[in-house]
Structure 1
């Protein structure tokens, strides 16, 4: 045991942490044989000094690998084996610091100092105070640490950044310059100075400093990653791209360069581009967990759900410890309404992180949508136990309580809460009170809603029985894509919940879109899900507000497009008199924000409202109630229409496409 522990200790000191763990685990196995009580130890026990050493060293190794939960676990056991040493409390403090438990870390560092004068306890306190925003106290601790070790650059770096936070910029700059004078050949000294220039936002001095760094340290390609991060933070994206190009020419195999460029694109909400850079890092370092998480995060934010799932499931086969990989995979399944698959992924999340209240809430919602109400209740309770303010769990709680009411009463409350014209519908309360009757049939409920809606409302309806079965049966293909050479042709028949995902999946497969014409055929498309239409706009538009939904109380809900988009040489939208609602929103959004859009066809229907849906699968009924108006840049087409740029009397596709091919 002593030999394995000593070997492990030396390997940790040399930075060979993985190798060290193997020796230290062997030492611990031998300790368990010598003292079986150590296996499930939960109280203090006094043993020879060497018995606790391998636990301490193993905790240290895991800390260095940034696996702080494992590090803390072994440190806790080390501290149960008496007598204790000050460095054990330092290691525990470092684990707690890594877990962002700064107050607890301070207590552990203070305990170390009560037993001796371990210098790293002062350094640990300095970092903890810094992250707590207690900069005066942090500066005091860094000064004590540096008085004990005048050569440690980590201590100087901590002091420099603390001075910056205290707005002592000149002092921070002087200290950084002093470090360079003392360590003229030390790359880290120049890196610290670059941080000072970045913080003070002196872009010209920063560029000159980075130029000197690349000349003085040609072998340190990591400087380019810092350059990319600095220029991106300062808003000079052109300079960040130049730094990336220079780095790639020097060493394309440096994963950190690609990660930095991915981060730069994420900061600009260019998620699709970010995912491409993160993917290069993954290709170079398949075992690097953070790169996989970054790529998943980018794909999720870009609403590339199918790509996110495919990559997440592949990454899930690796021995990664982070719950974020199944979390992103599960969220993408959830957004696609793949509830069984979402449940499978989220169960893995809570296995890795039992304190994830959002994962329990998603499990609850998924079970609710599968009408497994007992399981839904079990998980929303777990979510709220962890965080009483979880909005999704509270929403599910309301849904579950509502599900216990009679069907008629539930529909009455839905209509009262959501119907846009409730205030202008005559005798609506009296009519809706009929829904309080017990054991109403779906036909009777439909008749009440028909009488309760506004006389001029053509868009509110109730679907039940055989008609419900036909509507909710297997959904016909809602998106068709054809590669016609220089033309990318899409036919969208209706907007379902996943129409946007299917459209975007095809969109990302189009080579050189900027050289092609995009045709979106919306003839006969009477609308559907507004989220779906807005998400397609997000994929095709630069940064803007794609639309705004306005409810009866004046509450407005805006949809946004991020900076990332797929650009085409020309876009044609094909419409007719049946093109309505979400189809009109898509048409209007594209023509409002893009100069390359031409609308071909006939005047559209003119439906500037959207609906909200109540559905009860067990009773085979769906209530579709007008809920809001929608605007694109303050324009609404209710009781009006969209006029095409080019009129076509014919209903034949070939007559439309002649104009597209002619470049009209």
Structure 2
């Protein structure tokens, strides 16, 4: 790197003059200037050398130290806001800092440093390339192109500027223009692998497979010992979809580079992508035979199943990756992602807490742990998780929105407002933050008016004009209406035969909240896995899934789900339990008064049992019937034992105000399983039981497994 020596030469002249005239104080000042210049030069060079060796983070402290002495030499540079002509010594550290931050993808910091560098004249093509790269990283493409062109105007052979322009055109899908830039780059460095790869991809995007193959073949001809050259050919062949040619290429690569495990990773990913699952599994088997401790192979196989929504199967491989290296961030994130997607929320929270101890700087680990805590209703814990995300990225609008939602659920309205406002300031279209803003606006109204709006919007049977009902509901407009009066008004406003719209308040509310724990019991009876489920609350599904995952050899065992006396509850819980036991189906469809529908889907992962028995009686209703009907409809090994169920084919929506101790349950939708609704009907058992003892219900179960 060229460093001008004019200041140093001037200093030596002044020292000579002072020696003749005896000006000791001035000599000391000159010595300080010379020492500061040396500090700039030495630290800048160390930083530069580290960047050249790819040690970007290590380079920054040296370059910062160089800048500190630049400020000592030229204090006016600290707040420089206009162009000034100085030596290259003064601007080189800023230019190199921009370079380092670009490599670290911290583009804001890169731009800040290069802007200062460009204020110190004269400017170079390298500076304009660094600015172009920073702007490109910030997606400011037009500005980046201007700076690349400025670099080329100063130095026609600056290949980096052509490469930058090529990348912008490629991102803009202007592939012909991109090709032109990459070709120009290659006239100055004809064997640069990155540029050759981008040239190949440009041909592929233009549908020019023949041309792409020619480039790839030429690259191999000139780089026959480089793995990357064969990877380019594999990329092109994958675009052709010719399985035999793809397989031939990958097998050749595995033999030519026997120690490259990434060949097998590529095989797994490629075969899976083109629907050759058996080939992917075979490649995985070959890979682990060579190296059982390779994390990338385990992650690749896990991703094969993740992409097929087979989250439990994916966990098998992600677990292996974590066991190989418990502190590997990618493996930990993959496992958390699979647990969250597979609705294994309890496992997710437990594993996330452990992973965060090892990976304190990972925002993704905190993110997925927070999402699982939200699903469990652990709002305080979720707030802590998302705050950790924000500590690492203060511009994460989704993290602010999630904190706002948790605060809303805790009825901390002030905090909810603060975080939703912050989220919207970062991204005005954040739907969750906007929902919270609207909900807070509604909460500011008197309680009675809130419940009136809730009832009018949500009540399934409230469609059409009803003057009598409107008159009854108008009494909720009274700002002083009590919770007892609210209950009476709702009772009068609902349909007479509607048994599922009601209000809980006061002491009854307290009793319900005290008893709203997890009402589920599990017994391992050897060949029988017995579950007693009293009702469906927000966490019933999580407890059920946790127990199901702990049962070994499920295909050899019988599952019994005892739903006697279960009057229902949260529809989501029943659907999530269906998700665990069913393969890829529409578990249920909710139908609202305006005709709109919502469907619940199970993913491809499921837990198989040899047989499933469901115990029901005349009090089995709602979500309990949904679970029963879903299993009976889609699985051939399900037997219903007991008596005709209640026949409640509707679901409710709940309004709750914790501070006023009130909950309003309103019939909100019909639910269907495969277009079948049991409202005013029943689920009829396969085996009818007269008595009420568990023994009488279990007798057919035990007889079936003898």
The answer, yes or no, to whether TM exceeds 0.5 is yes
Within the candidate set 354, 372, 395, 2:412 is matched to 372
The answer as to whether partners of 1:172 and 1:196 remain within 8 angstroms in 2 is: yes
Matched, 1:335 2:375: yes
1:29-71 deviation per Cα after TM superposition (whole angstroms, max 9, x unaligned): 2541452559966646765424544554455455545565665
Q: Counterparts of 2:420 and 2:48 in 1: how far apart (Å)?
A: 46
Matched, 1:650 2:691: yes
Partner of 1:22: 58
Q: Counterparts of 1:14 and 1:498 in 2: how far apart (Å)?
A: 53
Matched, 1:429 2:475: no
Q: Counterparts of 1:177 and 1:48 in 2: how far apart (Å)?
A: 48
After superposition, the Cα gap between the structure-2 partners of 1:166 and 1:34, relative to the gap in structure 1 and judged at 3 Å, is closer
Q: Counterparts of 1:39 and 1:421 in 2: how far apart (Å)?
A: 73
Partner of 2:29: none
Within the candidate set 134, 138, 141, 2:181 is matched to 141
Q: Counterparts of 2:206 and 2:330 in 1: how far apart (Å)?
A: 32
Secondary structure of 2:368's aligned partner:
helix
The answer as to whether partners of 1:4 and 1:24 remain within 8 angstroms in 2 is: no
TM-score using structure 2 length: 0.87
Partner of 2:286: 246
Q: Counterparts of 1:663 and 1:453 in 2: how far apart (Å)?
A: 46
Matched, 1:110 2:168: no
Q: Counterparts of 1:166 and 1:111 in 2: how far apart (Å)?
A: 29
The answer as to whether partners of 1:126 and 1:140 remain within 8 angstroms in 2 is: yes
Q: Which shows bigger deviation, 354-363 or 132-141?
A: 354-363
Q: Counterparts of 2:334 and 2:138 in 1: how far apart (Å)?
A: 20
After superposition, the Cα gap between the structure-2 partners of 1:38 and 1:212, relative to the gap in structure 1 and judged at 3 Å, is farther
The answer as to whether partners of 1:126 and 1:141 remain within 8 angstroms in 2 is: yes
The answer as to whether partners of 1:610 and 1:629 remain within 8 angstroms in 2 is: yes
The answer as to whether partners of 1:160 and 1:176 remain within 8 angstroms in 2 is: yes
Partner of 1:195: 235
Consecutive unaligned residues of structure 2, counting only runs of 5 or more, are 1-38
Matched, 1:542 2:587: no
Residue 77 of structure 1, CA deviation:
5.8
Secondary structure of 1:151's aligned partner:
coil
Residue 235 of structure 1, CA deviation:
2.1
Q: Counterparts of 1:443 and 1:304 in 2: how far apart (Å)?
A: 40
Q: Counterparts of 1:69 and 1:650 in 2: how far apart (Å)?
A: 74
Within the candidate set 650, 668, 673, 1:609 is matched to 650
Partner of 1:13: 52
Residue 401 of structure 1, CA deviation:
1.7
1:623-663 deviation per Cα after TM superposition (whole angstroms, max 9, x unaligned): 11111000011011111111122222222223333322332
Residue pairs, 1:130-279, within 5 angstroms:
130-279=170-319
Q: Counterparts of 1:433 and 1:626 in 2: how far apart (Å)?
A: 20
1:322-346 deviation per Cα after TM superposition (whole angstroms, max 9, x unaligned): 5333222222222211111122222
Within the candidate set 43, 46, 49, 2:88 is matched to 49
Q: Which shows bigger deviation, 259-268 or 65-74?
A: 65-74
Between structure 1 and structure 2, the one with the greater Rg is: 2
Consecutive unaligned residues of structure 1, counting only runs of 5 or more, are none
1:517-563 deviation per Cα after TM superposition (whole angstroms, max 9, x unaligned): 22222111110000111111111111111100001111100001111
Residue pairs, 1:487-526, within 5 angstroms:
487-526=528-567
TM-score using structure 1 length: 0.93
Q: Which shows bigger deviation, 380-389 or 200-209?
A: 380-389
Partner of 1:529: 570
Q: Counterparts of 1:173 and 1:547 in 2: how far apart (Å)?
A: 49
1:571-612 deviation per Cα after TM superposition (whole angstroms, max 9, x unaligned): 222211111100111111111112222222222111100011
After superposition, the Cα gap between the structure-2 partners of 1:59 and 1:601, relative to the gap in structure 1 and judged at 3 Å, is farther
RMSD across aligned positions (CA): 2.6
Q: Counterparts of 2:349 and 2:107 in 1: how far apart (Å)?
A: 28
Residue 79 of structure 1, CA deviation:
5.0
Secondary structure of 1:612's aligned partner:
strand
Q: Counterparts of 1:264 and 1:97 in 2: how far apart (Å)?
A: 33
After superposition, the Cα gap between the structure-2 partners of 1:476 and 1:295, relative to the gap in structure 1 and judged at 3 Å, is closer
Q: Counterparts of 1:239 and 1:149 in 2: how far apart (Å)?
A: 39
